[in-house]
Amino acid sequence: MKSKFTWILTLFLAFGLQFSFAQEKTISGTVTDQDGLPLPGANVSVKGTARGTQTDFDGNYSLSASVGEVLTFSYIGQKSEERTVGTSSTINVQLMADSQALEEVVVLGYATTNKAELTGSTVQLNAEAIEQAPVASVDQVLQGKVAGLVITNSSGTPGSTTDIRIRGISSITAGNEPLYVIDGVPVVNNNVSATSSGSSLSPLASINPNNIESMTVLKDASATAAYGARGANGVIVITTKTGKSGKTVFNLSTSYGFSNDATDGPTVLTGAQREMLFYEALYNTYGAAYDFDIDGAQAFYEANTGSFGNDYVVWNAAGRPEAHWADVVTNRDAPIQEYNLSASGGDETSNFFASLGYYKQEATVIGSDFDRITGQLNFSKQLSPAFRFSTTNSASHSYQDGLLETSAYFSSPRTIKFFQPPIEMPYNEDGSINLNTTLPNPLWIAQEDIDDSKFTRIITNNSLTWDTPVENLSFTTRVNIDYQVYNYKRYRNRIDGDGSSTNGYGWQANRNRANYVFQNSVDYTWNVSDDHSFDFKVLQEYQKNRLYYLEADGDSFGDDGLTNLNSAGNPTTANSWYTDWAVASYMGLMHYSAFNGRYVFDATYRREGNSRFASDNRWGNFWSVGGAWNIHRESFLEGSNLFSNLKLRASYGVTGNANIDLNQYQALLNYDSDYAGEGASYPGTFGNNDLSWETSHTYDIGIEMGFFRNRITANVGYYNRESKDLLLDVPLSLTTGFTSQTRNIGRMENKGIEVEANFEIIRSNDFNLSIGGNFASNNNEVLELAKDAFGEEINITNGIKRVETGHTVYEWYMPSYAGVDPDTGVDLWYTDGEGSETTTTFSQANSVYQGSSALPTFTAGMNFHIDVKGFFLDAQGYYAGGHKVYEDWARYTNGRDLFTLLYYNGVDAILDRWQQPGDTGTRFGKMEFTTFPWQRDNKFLYDGDFFRLRNVTFGYDFNQDFLDTIGFSAARVFVRGTNMFTWVKDDRMKYDPETDATGYLKLATPPVKSVVFGVNLKF
Amino acid sequence: MTLLAGSSACTTEDLEPSTEQNKPIEGGIISVSNLYGVLKGAYSMMTSSGYYGRDIIINGEVRGTDNCFSNGNSGRFTTEASLSYNPNSTYIWDNCYDVIASANVIIGTDATTLTGDMGEAEHYQGQAYVMRALAHYDLLRTYGQQHVGGTLGVPYVTEFKGEDLFPARESVSDNVTSIMADLDMGFSLMDDSYDDGSKQFISKFTAMAIKSRVAIYFGQWSVAATAAKAVIDSGDFSIVAASNFVSSWVGESAQNSIFELAFSATDNQGINGLAYIYRLGPNGSYGDVQVLDEVIDLYEDTDVRKDILGYEDDMLRNIGKYPNNQGYDNVPIIRYEEVVLNYAEALLETGDASGALTQLNLITSNRGATAYTVANKDNILNERRKELMFEGFRFDDLMRTGQDLVKTSLQQNILQTIPYGDSRLAYPIPRTEMDVNSNMEQNPGYGN
**pLDDT tens-digit map of B240-258:** 999 999 999 987 888 999 9
Q: How far apart are CA B422 and CA B414, in angstroms?
A: 13
> Measured between beta carbons, which residues in chain A are less than 8 angstroms from residue B445?
843
Q: What is the DSSP letter of A823?
A: T
Residue of B1, B7, B288, B314 to mutate when probing chain A, most A C-beta within 10 A: B7
Residue of B nearest to A408 (CA): B74
Q: What are the residues whose beta carbons fall under 8 Å from the beta carbon of A852, sequence distance 6 or more?
A: A808, A811, A812, A882, A883, A884
Note the pLDDT of residue B263. Answer: 93
Closest of A943, A911, A942, A940 to residue A927, by C-alpha:
A911
Residue of B nearest to A792 (CA): B438
Residue of A nearest to B77 (CA): A933
- Answer yes or no: is pLDDT of B292 > 90: yes
Considering CB atoms only, which of B265, B439, B447 is closest to A845? B447
Note the pLDDT of residue B2. Answer: 29
CB A199 within 8 A of CB A191: no
* Equal fold, A2-97 vs A138-262+331-516+528-810+853-890+939-1018: no
Nearest-Cα distance to chain B for A388, in Å, is 21
Report the percent of chain A where pLDDT is more than 70: 97
Closest of A881, A890, A882, A889 to residue A923, by C-alpha:
A890
Q: How far apart are CA B225 and CA B205, in angstroms?
A: 14
The percent of chain A in helix, strand and coil, each rounded to the nearest 5, is: 15, 50, 35
Contact B326 A682 (CB under 8 A): no
Q: How far apart are CA A289 and CA A287, in angstroms?
A: 6
Torsion of the alpha carbons at B65, B68, B72 and B74, rounded to the nearest 10 = -130
CB B61 within 8 A of CB B395: yes
> Measured between beta carbons, which residues in chain A are less than 8 angstroms from residue B166?
733, 788-790
Rounded to two decimals, the ipTM of the complex is 0.94
Q: How confident is the model at residue A95 (pLDDT cuts 50, 70, 90)?
A: confident
Considering CB atoms only, which of B73, B166, B446 is closest to A733? B166
Neighbours of A332 (CB within 10 A): 10
Q: How confident is the model at residue A132 (pLDDT cuts 50, 70, 90)?
A: low
Asked if B197 has any chain A CB less than 8 Å from its own CB, the reply is: no
Contact A674 B267 (CB under 8 A): yes
Note the pLDDT of residue B304. Answer: 97
Strands A24-32 and A93-94: parallel
Contact B28 A669 (CB under 8 A): yes
Neighbours of B248 (CB within 10 A): 17
Domain chopping of chain A, boundaries: 2-97, 138-262+331-516+528-810+853-890+939-1018, 271-321+896-931
Q: What are the residues whose beta carbons fall under 8 Å from the beta carbon of A2, sequence distance 6 or more?
A: none
Nearest-Cα distance to chain B for A474, in Å, is 12
Q: Could you say which residues from 40 to 69 on chain B have a Cβ atom under 8 Å away from some Cβ of chain A?
A: 40-45, 47
Q: How confident is the model at residue B373 (pLDDT cuts 50, 70, 90)?
A: very high
Per DSSP, the three-state class of A42 is coil
- Answer yes or no: is pLDDT of A22 > 50: no
Rounded to an integer, the average pLDDT of A562-571 is 94
Taking all residues of chain B, what is their mean pLDDT, rounded to a whole number? 93
Per DSSP, the three-state class of B145 is coil
Per DSSP, the three-state class of B342 is helix
Contact B22 A500 (CB under 8 A): no
| A·B CB contacts under 8 A | 269
Contact B75 A899 (CB under 8 A): yes
Q: Which residue has the higher pLDDT, A152 or A776?
A: A776
Asked if B373 has any chain A CB less than 8 Å from its own CB, the reply is: no
Amino acid at B130: V
Considering CB atoms only, which of A611, A788, A796 is closest to B15? A611
CATH for A2-97 is 2.60.40.1120
Strands A712-724 and A747-763: antiparallel
Neighbours of A197 (CB within 10 A): 14
CB A758 within 8 A of CB A770: yes
Rounded to an integer, the average pLDDT of A382-408 is 92
Contact B326 A501 (CB under 8 A): yes
Nearest-Cα distance to chain A for B16, in Å, is 6
pLDDT tens digit string along A640-692?
888 889 999 999 999 999 988 888 898 999 999 999 999 999 999 999 989 99
Closest of A180, A178, A181, A174 to residue A165, by C-alpha:
A178
Q: How confident is the model at residue B4 (pLDDT cuts 50, 70, 90)?
A: very low
Residue of A nearest to B19 (CA): A579
Asked if B82 has any chain A CB less than 8 Å from its own CB, the reply is: yes
Q: Which residue has the higher pLDDT, B5 or A488?
A: A488
Q: How far apart are CA B106 and CA B132, in angstroms?
A: 11
Residue of A nearest to B82 (CA): A933
Candidate from A130-139, B285-294, B377-386 with smallest mean pLDDT = A130-139
Q: What are the residues whose beta carbons fall under 8 Å from the beta carbon of B192, sequence distance 6 or more?
A: B203, B204
Q: What are the residues whose beta carbons fall under 8 Å from the beta carbon of A278, sequence distance 6 or more?
A: A301, A312, A901, A902, A927
- Answer yes or no: is pLDDT of A4 > 50: no
Burial environment of residue A311 by CB neighbours within 10 A (0 to 12, 13 to 18, 19 or more): buried
pLDDT tens digit string along B86-99?
888 899 999 999 99
Q: What is the DSSP letter of A807?
A: S
- Answer yes or no: is pLDDT of A305 > 90: no
Nearest-Cα distance to chain A for B305, in Å, is 25
Neighbours of B100 (CB within 10 A): 30
Q: Which residue has the higher pLDDT, B43 or A708?
A: B43
Note the pLDDT of residue B10. Answer: 66
Q: How many residues does chain B have?
A: 448
Residue of A nearest to B444 (CA): A844
Contact A673 B41 (CB under 8 A): yes
Closest of B150, B155, B125 to residue B430, by C-alpha:
B155
Q: What are the residues whose beta carbons fall under 8 Å from the beta carbon of A901, sequence distance 6 or more?
A: A274, A277, A278, A281, A895, A927
Residue of B nearest to A618 (CA): B12
Considering CB atoms only, which of A615, A679, A789 is closest to B37? A679
Q: What is the DSSP letter of A586?
A: E
Considering CB atoms only, which of B262, B284, B435 is closest to A675? B262
Question: Helices B172-189 & B204-217, crossing angle to 10 degrees?
Answer: 160
Torsion of the alpha carbons at A732, A734, A739 and A740, rounded to the nearest 10 = -10
How would you label A419-434 residue by residue, b for 16+ Cβ within 10 Å and e otherwise?
A: bbbbbbbbeeeeeebb
CATH classification of A138-262+331-516+528-810+853-890+939-1018, choosing from 2.40.170.20, 3.40.50.300, 3.40.120.10, 3.40.50.720? Answer: 2.40.170.20
Q: Could you say which residues from 387 to 426 on chain B have a Cβ atom under 8 Å away from some Cβ of chain A?
A: 410, 413
Residue of B nearest to A789 (CA): B166
Considering CB atoms only, which of A520, A610, A676 is closest to B15? A610
Q: Which residue has the higher pLDDT, B200 or A119?
A: B200
Considering CB atoms only, which of B11, B165, B265 is closest to A733? B165
Note the pLDDT of residue A14. Answer: 36
Note the pLDDT of residue B448. Answer: 55
Nearest-Cα distance to chain B for A236, in Å, is 25
Q: Residue A937 forms beta bridges with which residues? A: none
Note the pLDDT of residue B6. Answer: 33
- Answer yes or no: is pLDDT of A99 > 60: no
Considering CB atoms only, which of B20, B41, B72 is closest to A931? B72
Rounded to an integer, the average pLDDT of A740-761 is 94
Contact A671 B285 (CB under 8 A): no
Strands A858-868 and A767-777: antiparallel
Note the pLDDT of residue A154. Answer: 77
